[in-house]
Amino acid sequence: MLDGLCKDGLVHEAMKLFGLMREKGTIPQVVIYTAVVQGFCTAHKFDDAKRIFTKMHNNGVSPNAFTYTVLIQELCKGAHLQDALHFSIQMLETGHSPNVATFTSLIDGFCKEKGVEEAQGIIRRLREKGFFVNDKAVREHLDKKGPFSPLVWEAVFGKTSSQTLF
């Protein structure tokens, strides 16, 4: 029900239900928190989404890889790139790994907003934290899900998409 309210853009109604659940002693699980985070992001209320995400942590509910993915991808869509990077690093530090779609969203955002060099620096930081790029999976994702900026190819592979990658 909470998920449906969020998906319909009724975030305030969802928050009322969320509060009522807590009053009645129901401890929200990760799925519920994820729905609320996504609802706030969809409504472009990114500060509220981050607040709920932090509250989830503080209430002893550990976000899973999907929760991180939802938050990071939505932050990228909303051009909140530093926040997306912060949560990507946190995701790695908690033992989860960004999927290819999340990784390319982050790199695409940094390429568009900050340039290739900044995006390459982000890739290095993620690698330092234990993330290794599966080049084949990234190529397939970029080919399927395009159009991505040619800068993404350059940031990830060091060459443009028109060059031979093998």
- State whether 101 and 155 are in the same domain: yes
Q: Please say if the pLDDT value at position 80 is more than 80.
A: yes
- Pairwise CA distance, residues 78 & 101, whole Å: 16
- State whether 166 and 90 are in the same domain: yes
**Which tens digit of pLDDT belongs to each residue from 38-67?**
888 988 989 999 999 998 988 889 999 999
Q: Please say if the pLDDT value at position 11 is more than 60.
A: yes
- State whether 124 and 49 are in the same domain: no
So what's the pLDDT on residue 163? 41
- State whether 166 and 114 are in the same domain: yes
pTM: 0.80
**Kind and range of the H or E element at 126?**
helix 116-128
- State whether 96 and 139 are in the same domain: yes
- State whether 148 and 103 are in the same domain: yes
Residue 90 inside a domain? The answer is yes
So what's the pLDDT on residue 87? 96
- Provide the pLDDT confidence category of residue 140 given band limits of 50, 70 and 90: confident
Domains: count for the chain: 2
- Pairwise CA distance, residues 98 & 92, whole Å: 8
Q: Please say if the pLDDT value at position 2 is more than 90.
A: no
In 24-86 the beta strands, taken as DSSP E runs, fall at: none
Residue 79 inside a domain? The answer is no
- What's the rounded mean pLDDT across residues 72-97? 94
Which domain covers residue 13, as residue numbers?
1-63
CB 65 within 8 A of CB 92: no
CB 116 within 8 A of CB 154: yes
CB 123 within 8 A of CB 113: no
Of 4-18, 79-93, 149-163, give the range with the top mean pLDDT: 79-93
**Which tens digit of pLDDT belongs to each residue from 16-32?**
776 777 667 666 688 88
List Cβ neighbours of 111 (8 Å cut-off, separation of 6 or more). 118, 119, 149, 151, 152, 154, 155
**Which tens digit of pLDDT belongs to each residue from 149-165?**
677 777 887 765 544 34
